[in-house]
Structure 1
Amino acid sequence: MLITAFTILGIAVLLGSVLAVLYMREGAAAPSWRLAALHGLIAIGGLGCLGLALRGPPRGLDQGAGSFGMIAAVLVALAAVVGFALFSARLRKRRLSGTLIGIHATLAISGFVVLIAYVMA
């Protein structure tokens, strides 16, 4: 289940990268809200799988990485909260805050990097 969560969240990270590139292109229209919704749904699915995987036996205790799974889950959950705020602003046709996008990306990527360390432990 942990590998499934890792794969799903990896897909969400790639889709988020595409959204970031589309958003930063000068003169281009904002990315479709449907693409953002797909990104969010995939990420929430990955977070759910990660939550299920963390219910299993602990791993990485001998390497000191026993809490990495929970840390990754908290970071991804915080990114989901910020992402929901971004999505709701997008649906209300407001300009997305670059600061919020940066916070969302930082939380999500940090969570994914910690998850990589947890999977490799």
Structure 2
Amino acid sequence: MTIALVFLLLAATLGGYLSIGYLRGTPPPAAGWMLGLVHGVVGAAGLLELVIGLERHPPPASAGVAGFGVGAEVLLGLAILLGLLVIMAAWRGKRLSGVVIGAHASVAITAIALVSAIVALG
């Protein structure tokens, strides 16, 4: 479960860096799309590791975090869908509302908090 948390925290760090440029209105550097791709791949790897980790070692019900794993999986799946919406808009050359990017970040950060609780209490 710790490996999933590390992947998710790395993806969040990359996403935070990408969001700073977006909020400033400055276009990303020439390799900005590559950084976005790495952000998405690392986040998806974190979700995959979370699914595998929960299958092998479910969180203990006695710690009060039994449902956190499923909740984190659902939220990360939603974050991936919102991230794909951002990618589709970028390919079309459109600038999305900050609400979509904010929702993507909020859902992902909530999932990270759930995974952190599992790691800390599990």
- Normalised to the residue count of structure 2, the TM-score between the two structures is 0.91
Q: 1:70 to 1:60 in 2, by over 3 A?
A: same
Indicate whether 1:78 and 2:69 are aligned: no
Aligned to 1:29: 27
- Are the equivalent residues in 2 in contact too, given 1:33–1:90 (CA < 8 A)? no
SS in 2 for 1:55: helix
CA distance in structure 2 between the aligned counterparts of 1:57 and 1:72, rounded to whole angstroms: 15
Q: CA separation in 2, counterparts of 1:30 and 1:86?
A: 14
Q: Distance in 1 between matches of 2:41 and 2:114?
A: 21
What is the distance in 1 between the residues matched to 2:22 and 2:28?
Answer: 5
> Alignment length, in residue pairs?
119
CA drift of 1:60 comes to 3.0
Correspondences of 1:1-121 after superposition (within 5 Å): 2-26=1-25, 28-30=26-28, 32-121=32-121
Divergent runs of 4+, >4 A: none
Percent identity over paired residues? 34
Deviation at residue 38 of structure 1 after TM alignment: 1.2
CA distance in 2, matches of 1:39, 1:88: 16
Letter aligned with residue 39 of structure 2:
H
Structure 2, gaps ≥5 residues long: none
**Shift of the alpha carbon at 1:6?**
0.7
1:51-78 alpha-carbon deviations (Å, 9 max, x no partner): 1011013223112111111111111110
What amino acid is aligned across from residue 43 of structure 1 in structure 2?
G
Gaps of 5+ in 1: none
Q: CA RMSD in A?
A: 1.3
Is the contact between residue 37 and residue 87 of structure 1 (CA under 8 Å) also seen in structure 2? Answer: no
